[in-house]
Structure 1
């Protein structure tokens, strides 16, 4: 394939993947639609996250959006078109919500940390994406919202991820008012980790991704899984579970190497095992 043909094919793809230095960068590529989550895009993203989960070369993931926005949520035109079917769209709506739920869980279940690179707007299912990622860095002009209430469609599925990231009062305020939240406010609420200027966004995201990629991939994957597992458990059960994870982790080669390197005052050499 010629370079021109390759570029044309990439331009037509709803999702672009670029790997470099152990970091996989996934870019939602529907700029004219503000990267709204069409059925095709959600299937492509889920497949890519599942592939990345099994790819030993990838140590961290960056999720970004092409064009003027991160993600504007579900593709409302696609959903509306389904109303012409005999069941008024019920089957398609159910399939769409299942696809969305599967995608969000694929991000959480991916053993590689996922960083959202947020610019423009992240609304409805787009805000859900940010909340589902492990970390998020936003440009200072970015805005967030769960605006379903404004169009008669409460953001019930975005609520699942949102309510697990910010306090109940903050989540309810976003869900009940549908109003836009600034990047600075999103930071105060705990929805994003850092807010930087638009010009510094890529550098900040890359620095964080590279820092994570420098750690033991085994240790990071153990920690990510344990983090989400213990959150859903009662306190005593969470400690019992986390203690067993620590024991298993201590028996790993990388823990032995890391502790030895610390004691010997040298840099560790990770083997990811």
Structure 2
């Protein structure tokens, strides 16, 4: 039996590859559970600096597996499905390592939600994005949570209300992805970005990622008070001392992760 999720570790970068190409990498319950389990493990792995989520086949991710969904049309099954998906998306946000989506083909519905949940996203120029649930009588309410936190309200509502496919250049314009590159260069470009981030202090990355998502939900004054406390705590870390000393001494820093 073929593994539905592949893992590759190289130089501190963990690549998790969705591997249901015939199903356009639809997020079945087993695939979501496998991805969540890997992320839980990675959270505790010191050697893992950055995570890349990629996919095999013609599509990045076509959302939930609708055949699986209709096979068990009960309220309990639906609740379990969306609860599992919500836990997975929050796992990405709370993971103390940056997560980059490497997107090719289409990323629709929960697949678009997956992209929006990642910290960064690099897309091939032929990639397209959509939240098309409205076309089948099922508003993309859970994808909406991640989408509305990644892009502006008007752009999010347009995607949610029309279900239209958004080309990669427009996804970058509205902030859903960071970079658009030639399809043939997608893997290389994502790897280069991951390597750049992996070269930073892992402690600093963890502190900064947590602080970003916490402060963005706060009122301005509370955000500044919280960020000031985080900055003070960060300044007391060995890596901050090392980084400042290395800058002053015009040398490369050696991170200890403490």
Instruction: Sort the TM-score into its range (normalised by shorter chain).
Output: over 0.9
In structure 1, C-alpha distance between the alignment counterparts of 2:148 and 2:227, rounded to whole Å: 23
Out of 81, 84, 87, which is 2:71 matched to?
81
Shift of 1:265: 1.0
Give SS of 2:72's match: helix
Aligned Cα RMSD in Å?
A: 0.6
1:195 equivalenced with 2:180 (yes/no): yes
Q: Which residue of 2 aligns with 1:69?
A: 59
1:239 and 1:92 map into 2 onto residues whose CA distance is 42
Mapping of residues 51-62 of structure 1, within 5 Å:
51-62=41-52
Aligned residue number for residue 125 of structure 1: 110
2:33 is aligned with 1:43: yes
Offset from partner CA, 1:242-262 (integer Å, 9 cap, x none): 000000000000000000111
Aligned-partner Cα distance in 2 for 1:164–1:104: 12
Pick aligned residue for 1:182 from 150, 154, 167 = 167
2:251 is aligned to: 266
Which of residues 139, 158, 169 is equivalent to 2:143?
Answer: 158
Unaligned ranges ≥5, structure 2: none
Partner Cα distance (1:44, 1:59) in 2: 20
Displaced runs of 4 or more, over 4 A: none
1:245 paired to 2:217: no
Structure 2 CA distance for aligned equivalents of residues 265 and 16 of structure 1: 41
* Matching residue of 2:81: 96
What CA distance in whole angstroms lies between the structure 1 residues aligned with 2:8 and 2:251? 33
SS at match of 2:139: coil
Aligned length: 258
Match of 1:21 in 2: 11
Which secondary structure does the structure 1 equivalent of 2:69 belong to?
helix
Q: Secondary structure at the match of 1:144?
A: strand
1:108 to 70, 87, 93: 93
> Match of 1:36, SS?
coil
1:225 counterpart = 2:210: yes
Question: Could you tell me which of 157, 160, 169 is aligned with 1:172?
Answer: 157
- The C-alpha deviation readout for 1:173-204, integer Å capped at 9, x for no partner, is 00000000000000100000000011110110
Residue 246 (structure 2) pairs with residue 256 (structure 1) = no
Gaps of 5+ in 1: 1-8, 84-88
Q: Write the distance in 2 (CA, Å) between the matches of 1:201 and 1:63.
A: 12
Q: Residue deviations 1:212-246, cap 9 Å, x none?
A: 01000000010000000001110000000000000
Distance 1:152 1:54 in 2: 41
